[in-house]
Amino acid sequence: MSKLFYKIGKTAYSKPWAFIVSWLLILGVIITVIATNGVHMSSETRIEGTEAQDVLDKLAEEFPVVSGGQGSYIFEVPDGEQVDGPENAASLASAINKIYELNYVVNPLDLIEESGGMAQLQEMQSQLAQVQESDVSYRPFVLNEMPIPGVKISEEGNIALLQFQLTEQVESLTEDEIQQLNDLAIEAEEDTSITVIPTGTLQGTDIPIGGTHEIIGLVIAGIILIVTLGSLVAAGLPLIVALIGVGVGVGGTFALSSVFEINSLTPTLALMIGLAVGIDYALFIVNRQRKLIIEEGLSAKEAASRALGTAGSAVFFAGLTVIIALCGMLVIGISFLSSMALVASMTVFIDVLVALTLLPSLLGLIGEKIVSAKSRKKASNKEKAKPSFASHWINGIIKFKWLVALLVVVILGTMAIPVGEMNLGMPSGASANKDTAVRQSYDLISENFGEGYNGTLLLVAEDKDGNPINPQEYIQVLSNISQLDSTVEVSPGGFNGEGTIGIMSITPAEGPTDEETNDLVHYLRTDDSILENTNLEIGVTGLTAINIDISEKLAEVFPYYIGIIVVLSLVILLVVFRSVIVPIKATLGFLLSIMATFGVTTAVFQWGWFGSLFGIDTGGPLLSFIPIMVTGILYGLAMDYQVFLVSSMRESYIHGQKGDKAVISGYTIASKVVVAAALIMVSVFSGFIFTEDIMIKQIGFALAFGILIDAFLIRMIFVPAVMSMFGDKVWWLPKWLDKLLPNLDIEGEKLIEELSKDAKKEKAKR
C-alpha cells in the first residue's frame, strides 16, 4: 500500500497541473449543474416501519386531503382589547378566509361537506357534548352569527389561535408558499392593533449552510496551522485541500438534490465533517514531508513522495474507518439518516482523494519553499535537540501510568453520570430560546389554551371489515377518549368520501415532548377499552406521534449500530496494527469518551448547565438521533487519532525501539500534530454551536466536546499509559492470525527497504 501511495505522490508532484486542472474541472461541472438545476432540500424525517408513518401513508392513499401537516398562527392584541372585537374581527376573518382559499390549505367547510354536511357534524358534536365534560377554556370565533372554523379565542379574548390542515407536509412547502402564508396572515394587522406570530411549524424548514461562526472556526484553524507548521505557505495548503474537498462533496450533494431526496441537515453535517477531516488529513501529510526535509535532509520531491507513502497510508485507513463508522447507519433503515451517512461518507472519501492527489500537486508547485531557509538553518545548527514538552509529558505519563489511567477513568466516569437521565426527543418550541418567535408562540399557546395545543394528535378510525363507519361507533370512540385525564379536547374531523375512514383531533393535557403525552400515544394504540362495543380499529399519527416513534425507533436500533461499527472497526484496526490488544484498547477508550460526551451534553442542553455560554436559555430533550449520529462520527474521528498516534509508535517499534522507548519515540513524533489536528476539529465543530438552530447546536457541541476529551484524555494520556503497561506484548498477534492477515505496510517499512536497496544500487553504478 505504501509503495502505491509513494508512486502517486511522485507522479502528482512531478505533473501538478494535470491533477489540479482535473479537480478544478470537477468543481466547475458541479457548479454548472447547480446553476442549471438549482438546489432541492427537504426537512422530512420519514421513519419507515413505524405506526405513525404507516397511518400517514394510508391516509395519503385513501384520504389524501388530510394526510398533510398542520400550520398555525397566533393573532394577539394588547391587554384590555378583544381580538374578535368590532375593530378587529373583519380584518381577522378576511385574512383567515384568504388562507383557506390557498390550494395547499384544507378548507374546513369543504371537508365538512365531504363528510356529510354541517348538520351531521353538529349532530355528532351535540351527542359528544352530552357524554363528555369539556376542559377547554376558549370560545369560537363568530362573525355575523357564522362561526369561522379552525379558530379559538382565548378566555381573556386578546389571543386568537388559527390551526389549519395542509394538503402536504410542511417540509414539502416551498419558501414561496410559506412566504405566501405569512403575507396573508399579516394582512390581519392592517388598520388593526393585531400582531401576527407564526408558530414553530411555519418558521421555515431550511438549515443555513455556512455563516460567520463557521468562518471564525476556520480562522482559528488557520492560526493553529501556522503555529504548528511554522509557515504561512504550508499552513494554507490544508485549508485549500479542505475547501476543495467540501466544495466537491457538499457541492455534489446539491447537484444531485434534484435526483435524490436530500434532508436539509445533510449538507451541514457533511460540511462539518468535511472541513475537519480535510484539514487534518492534509496537515498530517504536510507535517511528515517537512519533518523528512528538516530531519533527514531529503529533497522536497522525495520527502513529499515518502510522506504520501507513510502518512498517506495512515490517512487512507483513517478515512476508511470514518467511512465505515458512518456507513453503519445504513443498516438502521432510516432514510434521512442513510442520506446523511452517504453524503458525509462521500465527502470524507473525497477529502482522502484530494489529500492524496491534489495536495502533492500543490506541494510540487511550491517545491523547496515548503520549508524556509530559516527553518533549514535552524535545524542544521542544532547539535543536540533539547527535550521537548511532549517528551517531558510522555515520560511523566509512563512514570505514573497506573495513576493517570485510573484518573482518566474516574474523570470520564463522573462526566458520564447524567447519561442515566438523558431524555431523547425531537426539538419543539419549548426548547427554543426565549427571544425567538418559535418559543414566544409556544408560550402564548400554553398560557392561553394549554400546552397540549402545541402538539395535537390525529387519530384515524376504520371499520375492521372495511365497511363504512357507523357514526354511533365513531362517537363512542370519541367519548371514550374524552374521558381520559391525559386529554383536554377531542374533536370530530369528518370522513372520507366512502365513509370508510374517520379522523378526529386529540389535544393532550401536556406538551408534545412530555412523558405523559408519550404515554397517551401508547395507551391509545394498545388499550382495547377505547374501542369497547365497536367494530373499529384506530391508529395515531401527527407530528407529535411521528416524533415519538422516531425517538423509540432510534433507541431500539442504537445497540445494533454500536455492535456493527465496533466489529467492523476492530477488524480494520486489527489489520492495520497487526495486534489484538491495540484495537480492544482503542475501543474501550472510545466507550469511555462517548459516555462522557453524552453525559456533558445532557447536562448542558437538558439540564441547562452553563447554557448561557453556548447561547441557550432553556433546557430540553436531546435530539433523538444524536446518539447514533455522534457515536458514528466520533468513533471514526477518534480512530483517526488512534491510527496516527499508534502507527507512529509501531513505526518506532518496527525500526528497533522496544517497550517504553517505542511509546516515547512515537508519541514525541506524533503528539504535536495530533494535538493540532484535534484543536482544529474542535474549532471547526465549535463554530456550529453558536448557530440559531438547536439541532445544529447540539450536534456541534457533542462533536466538539467529544473530540476534545477523546483526543486529550484518551489518545494523549490513557492510550500511552496503557501501551506502557503492556510493553512489547501490546503488539502480540497469534502466528496463525499473522499468516492470514494481509500486510498493508502502513508504516512504510517495505517501502524504505526498497528505497534503500535502490539507493545502494545507484551508488554502486557510480
What are residue 458's DSSP bridge partners? 505, 541
**Residue 246, phi then psi, degrees to nearest 5:** -75, -25
| Cell numbers given for 149 | 372554523
Nearest CA-CA partner of 649 in 731, 756, 735: 731
d(CA 605, CA 694): 9
Helix (H, G, I), strand (E, B) or coil at 488: strand
Query: How high is the pLDDT of residue 212?
Result: 58
Nearest CA-CA partner of 492 in 149, 5, 258, 196: 149
67-206: which CATH architecture? 2-Layer Sandwich (3.30)
E strand residue ranges, 414-535 = 424-425, 457-463, 487-495, 501-508
- By the 8 A CB rule, do 541 and 59 touch? yes
Long-range contact set of residues 222-227: C-beta below 8 Å, sequence gap at least 24: 224/676, 224/679, 224/680, 224/683, 225/279, 225/283, 225/676, 225/680, 227/676
- By the 8 A CB rule, do 29 and 371 touch? no
Q: At which residue does the C-alpha cell 384590555 appear? A: 80
For the chain, the structural domain boundaries read: 1-41+210-374+736-765, 67-206, 389-418+554-733
Across the chain, which has 766 residues, the per-10-residue mean pLDDT values are: 83 91 92 81 66 87 83 89 89 91 84 58 55 66 79 90 85 81 90 84 52 69 81 85 88 78 74 83 87 84 87 83 81 76 88 93 89 68 63 90 94 93 78 77 88 90 89 87 88 83 90 89 90 89 86 82 79 82 87 92 89 78 83 81 82 81 88 86 82 81 92 91 90 85 66 67 61
| Cell numbers given for 603 | 447536562
3-class secondary structure for 266-280?
Answer: HHHHHHHHHHHHHHH
| Cell numbers given for 88 | 378587529
- By the 8 A CB rule, do 148 and 93 touch? yes
Sign of CA dihedral 261, 263, 264, 268: negative
1-41+210-374+736-765: which CATH architecture? Up-down Bundle (1.20)
Instruction: Confirm whether 67-206 and 389-418+554-733 share one CATH topology.
Output: no
Query: How high is the pLDDT of residue 596?
Result: 95
- By the 8 A CB rule, do 39 and 410 touch? no
Query: How high is the pLDDT of residue 643?
Result: 78
What are residue 74's DSSP bridge partners? 161, 197
- By the 8 A CB rule, do 242 and 282 touch? yes
CA 427 to chain centre: 13
Query: How high is the pLDDT of residue 204?
Result: 46
Counting every residue, how long is the chain?
766
389-418+554-733: which CATH architecture? Up-down Bundle (1.20)
* Cβ-based neighbours of 35, under 8 Å, separated by 6 or more: none
Nearest CA-CA partner of 483 in 457, 460, 506, 464: 506
Q: DSSP for 179-210?
A: HHHHHHHHGGGTTSS-EEEE-GGGS--PPPP-
Amino acid at site 464: K
How do residues 482-529 score in pLDDT, each as one tens digit? Answer: 888 899 888 888 788 888 898 888 999 898 888 899 999 999 998 888
* Cβ-based neighbours of 752, under 8 Å, separated by 6 or more: none
Q: At which residue does the C-alpha cell 434521512 appear? A: 336
**Residue 495, phi then psi, degrees to nearest 5:** -125, 160
Amino acid at site 373: A
CA 692 to chain centre: 15
- By the 8 A CB rule, do 66 and 59 touch? yes
Query: How high is the pLDDT of residue 270?
Result: 82
Residue 633 vs residues 274, 414, 744: alpha-carbon distances, Å: 11, 23, 25
Nearest CA-CA partner of 536 in 483, 461, 478, 471: 461
Q: At which residue does the C-alpha cell 406538551 appear? A: 511
Specify the pTM: 0.80
| Cell numbers given for 600 | 456533558
d(CA 457, CA 512): 9
Query: How high is the pLDDT of residue 199?
Result: 79
Rounded to 5°, angle at Cα 699 from 256 and 691: 85
DSSP β-ladder status, 622-623 and 424-425 = parallel
Nearest CA-CA partner of 660 in 607, 583, 601, 725: 725
* Cβ-based neighbours of 533, under 8 Å, separated by 6 or more: 473, 476
Sign of CA dihedral 405, 407, 410, 412: negative
Nearest CA-CA partner of 204 in 436, 452, 454, 414: 436
Residue 100 vs residues 88, 112, 151, 154, 205: alpha-carbon distances, Å: 19, 14, 12, 21, 22
- By the 8 A CB rule, do 660 and 738 touch? no
DSSP state of 166: B
Other beta carbons less than 10 A from residue 60's beta carbon: 14
Q: DSSP for 688-709?
A: TTTSS-HHHHHHHHHHHHHHHH
| Cell numbers given for 469 | 363507519
